[in-house]
């Protein structure tokens, strides 16, 4: 019985927060261009959404958090930090990454999953870690994966739970991926 009550309360809170976040984005002019994908459970700073800018063809994966303010100094100084966050065009931000205030991420950038971006990332780079550091160029990582694709299993549409993958395909994928990584559209 308690589980149902907690779930009901959680559902109402989630609905309220999601609606409030959507309303704030529309009212407070969060700036994002065409073809921006914002994945599930992405948190965009609802206190200062007008300080967040996302360039065209960019992708924020599940659970990304973008903060334009930071209250860590409030207790000691009486003031919170606040700063713009700019994400360039053609940029991918991986699952559960956190982007802190006063950060500029360039164009054609890949941010690895779980990264904490505390400082600027230049154009055409791959960055990962906590704190995120540049590890290579975007073209290097793309070329590396294009070469791996020549020797790896490739899966077309119909190989995800969302598209109704069959048991036979699941077994094949499990077998194929015992020793290597594959790629899917």
Residue 69 is among the residues annotated as catalytic for this protein: yes
Q: CA-to-CA distance for 127 and 157, rounded, in angstroms?
A: 29
Whole-angstrom Cα Rg for the chain: 20
Q: In angstroms, rounded to a whole number, what is the distance separating the alpha carbons of residues 65 and 21?
A: 13
Q: How far is CA 116 from its chain centroid? A: 11
Q: How far is CA 85 from the centre of its chain?
A: 14
Alpha helices in the chain (DSSP H): 2-27, 74-77, 138-149, 167-176
Q: Just list the catalytic residues.
A: 69
């Amino acid at each position: 019985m308690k589980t149902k009550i907690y779930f009901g309360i959680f559902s109402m809170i989630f609905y309220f927060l999601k609606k409030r976040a959507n309303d704030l984005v529309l009212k407070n002019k969060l700036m994002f261009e065409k073809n921006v994908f914002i994945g599930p459970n992405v948190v965009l700073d609802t206190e200062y959404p007008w300080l967040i800018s996302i360039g065209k063809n960019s992708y924020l994966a599940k659970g990304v958090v973008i903060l334009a303010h930071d209250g860590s100094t409030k207790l000691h100084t009486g003031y919170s930090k606040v700063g713009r966050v700019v994400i360039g065009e053609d940029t991918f931000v991986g699952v559960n990454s956190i982007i802190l205030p006063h950060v500029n991420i360039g164009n054609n950038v890949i941010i690895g999953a779980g990264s904490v971006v505390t400082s600027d990332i230049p154009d055409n780079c791959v960055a990962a870690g906590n704190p995120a550091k540049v590890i290579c160029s975007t073209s290097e990582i793309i070329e590396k994966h294009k070469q791996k694709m020549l020797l790896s299993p490739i899966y077309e549409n119909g190989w995800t739970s969302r598209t109704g993958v069959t048991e036979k395909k699941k077994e094949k994928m499990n077998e194929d991926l015992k020793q290597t990584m594959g790629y899917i559209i």
